[in-house]
A and B are shown apart, each in its own frame.
Chain A
Amino acid sequence: MNTIRRYISLGSVACIGLCMILVTGCKKLVSIPDREERLVPTNGFANDGQAMDAVNGILARCMQTNASFMNGAFSIFPGMSADELQPTANNDVLVQFADNRLTSDNTRISIMYNTAYNLVAQINIVLENLNSGKVTRATRDRLMGECIFFRAFINLQLTCLFGDVPLVTITNVDVIAAMSRTGIDSIYRQVIDDLRTADSLLPASYIVMQKDLVARTHPDKWVAHALLSRIYLYEGHWVEAERMATDVLESSELGLASSPDSVFLNDSREILWQLIPFDDGVVGEADYFLPKSTGAMPAYIIRPTLMNAFEPGDRRKAAWTGLSGGMPYPRKYKALMTDKKRECNVVMRLAEQILIRAEARAEEGDLPGAIADVDVLRSRAGLPALQAGLSSQAVLEAVWNERRIELMCEWGHRWMDLKRTGRAASTLGSLKPAWRLTDALYPLPAGELKKDTNLVQNTGY
């Protein structure tokens, strides 16, 4: 009897011991420790500094490779698709853009598409880790505002190129991998929602940086406002577009640069948002547009129609175009190796806001207001004011023309303007024999249709 009791007590002690180990040790034992070497803990950012470094990672990745998506690609490729640029090299990948006969295996198309979605994934992952991590409220709000703004910006740029695209706001790769394309209206709704959220989260002034550092590299409230005014313009919501642009224009932080020459210097007050280049401090546009040696043939030349569109006496012609080997090329950015660090990639600037308001006013019938806005830019360019008493169509055309010159070879504005104002067919059809209506949208990369069978190609490809 005694021995049995002893066995039982021994057994029960062992059992209780095992159970205790099971309950207390189990969870801890199989949860792997968070180690410094792995950068980010498995449950989100560890502190404010880490969160800021992760957001800086987005800015850095925007600029890591020239002309991949954010750093020059829009100025170059849609610039060629529109009536601005022509490549001088007989490289079919580039000529396809200039001739509007893109094929779905064009490598530049897949680089842009891939880079954009790399950024979207990065943004969504950073957002997720901001949500779950140990970041203080104020920092988290600001960083989330920035991320949501970046996502809105990239989605808007993507639709400018491809039309309907998969709209990714989640991080589950299995779900994303089977996504189909989202209609452009839904994307615009999401972009507007995102921008309103960003607008409410972002501070009304740029984060104070140390004196020797470049400012305006992180978006603030007015940048979100500015993108909202742009998308309202694209959608034809003139009242909202005007209101947003006015808010931005009235901000005390911003002001037009005094002359076209100083617009793109990184201390210009005209800049809303700029990105710092990698390595040697040369932005993508400078790298691709500027001739590599004196007198060399530029890689991309400005089409004669654009050169001829400058009015006589326009200071911007001398400031923003150059001649090399007898050929005109864009030189809004001038720094190639020398004088580096004075230029960043200007993503958004105040002049566009003036033109958005001018166009919105013209559409609303406020012709004197529209003319006044256009004249601000004309006077900076050394041009006489517009005549009073122009017809509303004439004012609208004056605004479009001003956009064409002021925003030339900059972020593909011309390509988007031609498409949204219905002038693509008339302008490009006469210039390029291969033009068809379906060329307004780029093809999705052919390889992507195989990897995600729910994707459908754009018509015409």
Chain B
Amino acid sequence: MDQTSLLYFPPTAPPMRDSARNLVYSINGVPVNNPLAFDQYRYDALTRTLVCNVQVLYNVGRWELQINSGYSSIDTRESTTIPATAQNPLFAPADLRYLARTNLKGGEGSIKLSWRWGGERMNFSATGGLDWYIQHDRIEAPGDTVGTAQLESLSGSTVADYRDLGSFFSGGASFDQRFFMNVTGRWDKSSRMARDDGGFYSGGAGLSYVFFRPKATDPDKTHVLTMGRLHVSCGITGSDAVQNYAHYTGWSTFSGALPAQLAGAFYPTSPSNVSLTWERIVKSSVGLTLGFINDQLNMDLVYYRQRASDLPVPYTLPATTGFSTGYRTWPAVIMNTGYELSIQKQAKAWNFFQWMSRLSLSFPRNKLQSYPNIENSYYATTRIVGEPREAVRLYHYIGVDPQTGLFAFEDYDGDGKITEKDRQFIGKPMVKMFSAWTNAFHTGKWRLEMTLEGVVQTGIDYQRDIYNVSPPGSLGPGLFNNETVKVLDHWRKPGDKARYQQFTSLPTTEAAQRIPLFTSSSGILENASFLRLRTLTLSYEIPTAFFHKLNLKMGGQFYIQGQNLLTLTPYADVDPALQSGMVCPLVKSYGVGVKLNFNSI
């Protein structure tokens, strides 16, 4: 259980155990939550997994028939016990036990028929077939807590069935080992779509051309450029990633005590989302692959473009529909574009020292390209055409006014008041660049491997967002809470240059009126970029001679491993990747281990 929210526990809290080591639940008659109670919770889980696969291959000349079939089942039983001693005695608690049972079953299979033909300079291949996927999930959990007396009683089960059927073909051809081309096509039908849905047709084509390759006549000569290849591709794919049964009305029985005469009654809980359809993504990409110095250094550069339309999204429904949320195909187009660069250095075969390195960079961008009639839609005030999906309209924060001691904002319309009309600053809390850099050094029996992760992004400053949770100063006397010490940098008297405005305890003051403006302003945006040493592993290969002495036919290694050892960031708060003060940050962890491979020699 994540205990991070205990950050708000008062630092001056009295002891959590009394002289008899019992947990304390009341201080001078005031009931308190004891954070140590979690310590007594007991959680048990048993998971049984079954996975099996069968593959049958027939090979007759140029023909190949392949039949795959697989089945998997994951069965989990969980129980959480909360003893009475871990609960406030004020409510005369009994031991509680929560049970849950999850059964996920899936089956998949495919039948594929392929044909190939090859000659001196030309090669052709074609494949066609069918594939299917069946999933049946059943989740049971008690609606309420059960006393220990009725341990086995489970009520409320959720069942989800998902089925998908596809047929596909692909064809490929190559000439001279220089031109490669392929064409693919698919048709999918999914149980998540309406019964009369005709399925989704997708397909694509790719072409690649090797424009440079040294002649194979003098293999000993070192070339600077050893390979050059251009590739382009385009295609359409579809996605059925919506809830199961979204096309059908959801029903539920009543949770309260029904009059006996109406026992068994039930009612609809979610609408049938009849307009849901496949999300359509049109993709295209151009890439360049280069190999240098006998292919020791490889570089891959790709530019991609994905145009997504017909997106299924949850939608706030007006009351007249009888439901609060539905799913609907969004009449919008979102364009994702980006560059991806990866550079790879292969291990160079110096005898005593080897170095392998891989760097990948990606610059994702997205844009809400069009949304017909957005001004009349529910997204009129939240989404902005021409801007990324993450973009939000905010007030422009300009600091704490040293004279008034209040948060100040730019008054765009110059009417002397900060109103909804001044919400004109476009904030983009989003990622601009991802990168990962892996290095491996190898000398003799030793190997050192490290992965660095770098992200350039704008995030939400949780420390300032604390104003959403409990504005400093607002808590009434007698209530327990904690605040970050950062809020001590607040305005006290005219002339002060402070990071936070004056404290206020009343909801009616001017300062209190500014709090909701502040939490919707650019003031809570912050640079959350970071560079993190994700993993560092040092390993030592146990000499095979050692095992030989023991007359064992095996190999092995020792290793020490660390995760999240170092993070460099200008971000002032808990974790720049998670950007929340309520969630446990990524933990630093260390490990020591031995890996043995039996029968490896």
A residues in contact (CB < 8 Å) with B? 3, 6-7, 10-11, 14, 18, 21-22, 25-26, 29-33, 35, 37-40, 42, 49, 53-54, 56-61, 63-64, 110, 113-114, 117-122, 125-126, 129, 166, 168, 171-174, 176-177, 179, 209, 213-214, 217, 276-279, 281, 445, 448, 450-453, 455
> Quick one: given A64-B254, A125-B249, A174-B274, are A22 and B159 in contact (CB under 8 Å)?
no
* Contact, CB under 8 Å: A60 / B254: yes
The verdict on A122 contacting B322 (CB below 8 Å), with A54-B266, A60-B265 known, is yes
Q: Is the CB–CB distance between B195 and A56 below 8 Å?
A: no
B555 shortest CB reach to chain A, Å: 45
A-B contact pairs, 6 of them (CB 8 A): A26-B189, A35-B159, A60-B267, A117-B322, A213-B260, A452-B320
Q: Which of A21, A32, A217 contacts B130 (CB 8 A)?
A: A21
A278–B321 contact, CB under 8 A?
no
**A14, B113: Cβ atoms under 8 Å?**
yes
> Which one of B57-65, B462-470, B520-528, B557-565 is at the A interface?
B57-65
Cβ-neighbour of B162 out of A32, A56, A59, A277 (below 8 A) = A32
Residues of chain B whose beta carbon lies under 8 Å from any beta carbon of chain A = 60-63, 65, 111, 113, 128-130, 132, 134, 138, 157-159, 161-165, 167, 189-191, 195, 244-245, 248-249, 251-254, 256-262, 264-268, 271-275, 315-323, 326, 328, 376-378
By a CB distance below 8 angstroms, the chain B residues around A42 are 195, 245, 248
CA distance A416 to B280 in the complex (A): 53
Beyond A7-B61, A37-B158, A54-B266, is A177–B321 a contact (Cβ under 8 Å)?
yes
Contact of A18 among B130, B159, B253, B259 (CB under 8 A): B130
How many whole Å from A287's CB to the nearest CB in chain B?
A: 15
A-B residue pair count with CB separations less than 8 angstroms? 180
Contact residues in A for B111 (Cβ distance below 8 Å): 18, 21
The 5 closest A-B pairs by CB, nearest first: A121-B322, A56-B265, A451-B318, A452-B318, A57-B267
Q: Which residues of A contact B266 (CB under 8 A)?
A: 39-40, 53-54, 57
Which one, B62, B259, B264, contacts A277 given CB within 8 A?
B259
Bound together, the chains give a CA A21 to CA B131 distance in angstroms of 11
CA distance A399 to B163 in the complex (A): 66
Query: Bound complex: CA of A171 vs CA of B321, how far in Å?
Result: 8
Most-contacted residue by chain A among B167, B315, B316, B322 (CB, 10 A)? B322
* Cβ-neighbour of B163 out of A30, A63, A110 (below 8 A): A30
Answer whether A30 and B261 are a contact pair too, CB < 8 Å, given A18-B111, A452-B320. Answer: no
Least CB separation from A116: chain B residue: B319
Nearest to A277 among chain B residues (CB) is B259
> In the complex the two chains form, is A173's CB within 8 Å of B271's CB?
yes
Which of A37, A57, A126 makes the CB contact (< 8 A) with B157? A37
Q: Are A29 and B163 in contact (CB under 8 A)?
A: yes
Contact A32 B320 (CB under 8 A): no
| Complex Cα gap A444–B81 (Å) | 48
Minimum C-beta distance from A206 to chain B (A): 13
A445/B319 contact (C-beta < 8 A), A37-B158, A122-B267, A278-B256 known: yes
**New A-B pairs, 5, CB < 8 Å, besides A18-B113, A22-B167, A60-B259:** A30-B164, A64-B254, A121-B268, A278-B257, A278-B259
Among the listed B128, B195, B256, B316, which residue makes an inter-chain contact with A31, where contact means beta carbons less than 8 Å apart?
B195
Residues on the B chain within 8 Å of A39, using CB: 251-253, 266
Q: A59 contacts B113, CB within 8 Å?
A: no
Docked-complex contact A61 and B113, CB < 8 angstroms: no
- Give chain B nearest CB distance to A134 CB in angstroms: 16
Q: With A40-B251, A110-B319, A166-B320 known to touch, is A35 a contact of B130 (CB < 8 Å)?
A: no
Which of A7, A30, A56 is the one whose CB lies under 8 Å from B190? A30
Given A30-B164, A451-B378, residue A60 in contact with residue B320 (CB < 8 A)? no
B257 in contact with A26 (CB, 8 Å): no
A40 to B161, CA, bound (A): 15
Contacts of A11 in B (CB 8 A): 63, 113
In the complex formed, the residue of B with least CB distance to A34 is: B161
Instruction: Determine if B256 and A453 form an interchain contact, defined as CB atoms under 8 angstroms apart.
Output: no
State the Cβ distance, B200 to closest chain A Cβ, in Å: 12
Residue of A nearest to B157 (CB): A37
**Which of chain A's residues have a CB closer than 8 A to the CB of B254?**
57, 60, 64
User: Is there an interface contact between A59 and B65, defined as CB atoms closer than 8 Å?
Assistant: no
Q: In the complex, which residues of chain B have a beta carbon less than 8 angstroms from the beta carbon of A21?
A: 111, 130
Among A59, A168, A174, A177, contact of B265 (Cβ-Cβ < 8 Å): A59
Q: Nearest CB to that of A113 among chain B residues?
A: B319
- Please, which residues of chain A bring their CB within 8 A of the CB of B322? 117-122, 125, 168, 173
Residues of A with C-beta under 8 A to B265: 53-54, 56-57, 59-60
CB distance from B259 to the nearest CB of A (A): 4
Tell me, rounded to whole Å, the shortest Cβ–Cβ distance linking B422 to chain A.
Answer: 20
A40 touches B249 (CB 8 A): yes
Contact yes or no, A117 B321, CB < 8 A: yes
Q: Give min CB distance, B124 to chain A, whole Å.
A: 15
Complex Cα–Cα for A113 and B320 (A): 8
In-complex Cβ contact of B161 among A33, A118, A122, A448 (8 A): A33
- Residue of A40, A54, A177, A213 near B261 (CB, 8 A) is A213
Q: Are A177 and B320 in contact, CB atoms less than 8 angstroms apart?
A: yes
B61 touches A174 (CB 8 A): no
CB pair B249–A448 under 8 Å, yes or no, is no
**Interchain nearest-CB distance for B323 vs A (Å):** 7
Query: Shortest beta-carbon distance, B519 to chain A, in Å?
Result: 21
Given A18-B129, A30-B164, A177-B317, do A125 and B256 touch, yes or no (CB 8 Å)? no
Is the pair A173, B261 in contact by a Cβ cutoff of 8 Å? no
Chain A residues whose CB sits within 8 angstroms of the CB of B376 once the complex forms: 453
B402 CB to nearest A CB, Å: 37
- In contact, B165 and A30 (Cβ under 8 angstroms): yes
B261–A451 touching, CB < 8 Å:
no
CA distance in complex: A445, B320 (Å): 11
B317 close to A276 (CB less than 8 A): no
B167, B252, B260, B318, most chain A CB atoms within 10 A = B318
The verdict on A122 contacting B63 (CB below 8 Å), with A110-B319, A278-B256 known, is no
* List of B residues within 8 angstroms of A25 by Cβ: 165
**Do the beta carbons of B161 and A35 come within 8 Å of each other?**
yes
Please give, as numbers and ranges, the residues of chain A lying within 8 Å of B162 by CB-CB distance.
32
Residues of B within 8 A of A29 (CB): 132, 134, 163, 165
- B191 with A30: CB separation less than 8 A: yes
Alpha-carbon distance A213/B260, docked complex (angstroms):
9
A173 touches B317 (CB 8 A): yes
Are B259 and A38 neighbours in the complex by a CB distance under 8 Å?
no
Complex CA gap A195/B306 in Å reads 54
Q: Complex Cα distance A30/B163, Å?
A: 5
- A448 neighbours in B (Cβ, 8 Å): 318-320
On whether the beta carbons of A173 and B251 are closer than 8 Å, the reply is no
CB distance from A21 to the nearest CB of B (A): 6
Hey, which chain B residues are within 8 Å of A38, CB to CB?
Answer: 159, 245, 251
CB-CB under 8 A from A278, the residues of chain B are: 256-259
Residues from chain B with a CB closer than 8 A to the CB of A122 are 267-268, 322
Query: In whole angstroms, how far apart are the Cα atoms of A120 and B319 in the complex?
Result: 10
Contact assessment for B63 and A7 in the assembled complex, using a CB-CB cutoff below 8 Å: yes
- Nearest-Cβ distance from residue A153 to partner chain B, whole angstroms: 16
Q: For B167, what are the chain A residues with a Cβ–Cβ distance below 8 Å? A: 22
Distance in angstroms from B332 CB to nearest chain A CB is: 15
Q: How distant is the Cα of A214 from the Cα of B260 in the complex, in angstroms?
A: 10
List the B side residues contacting A64 at CB < 8 Å.
254, 256
Q: A10-B63, A14-B65 are in contact. Are A32 and B321 (CB under 8 A)?
A: no
B511 → chain A closest CB, angstroms? 25
Q: How far is the CB of A28 from chain B (nearest CB, A)?
A: 9
Task: Select A53's contact among B190, B264, B275, beta carbons within 8 Å.
Answer: B264
Bound complex: CA A174 to CA B329 (Å): 10
A173 engages B130 (CB within 8 Å): no
**Distance (whole angstroms) from the CB of B580 to the closest CB of chain A:** 29
Chain B residues lying within 8 Å of A61, measured Cβ to Cβ, are: 267
The complex places the Cα of A276 from the Cα of B58 at a distance, in Å, of: 69
Residue of A whose beta carbon sits closest to that of B273:
A173
Residues of A within 8 A of B60 (CB): 6-7, 10
A174 x B275 contact (CB < 8 A): yes
